[in-house]
Amino acid sequence: MKNKALMNRKTLIVACLVLILCWNVALMLQHPTNSEMLLVKQFVTDCKDQNCTNDWSVGWWVTASGGETQSRGGPPSPDYNSMSKPFRVLTSQTLFECKLYMNEGILNYYRCN
């Protein structure tokens, strides 16, 4: 009986360690790469005196880079079709009506005229 209890305890410990490892890997995969952060910083620099917006999914990256945005933390993303042109967009979407200025990883930086 003791042997079975010891085996169950070892199994539980191994399972917990695997879950902790998977959780840490999942958290690391959510962080932007250095090249994505350079793109975000370029977007923030370009948007000092421009009409700019971004997806909610990258809003915290924009805020962390010193930018100001209303779109962060949750859906919905802005409606790009109703915005007055010209404007700039940092998004993970593909916008066919705008010119792609820069691209890095999942991020697309568009200039819409």
SS3 12: helix
Provide the percentage of residues in the chain whose pLDDT is more than 90.
23
Average pLDDT over residues 60-65: 88
Average pLDDT value over all residues in the chain:
85
Give pLDDT, residue 1.
62
Domain limits of the chain? 1-30, 34-112
pTM for the structure as a whole = 0.69
The H or E element containing residue 40 is helix 34-46
Give the pLDDT confidence of 19-37 residue by residue, as tens digits: 998 888 777 777 788 889 9
> Between 2 and 38, where is the model more confident?
38
Residues 75-106: b if buried by 16+ CB within 10 A, e if exposed: eebbebeeeeeebbbbbeeeeeebeebeebee
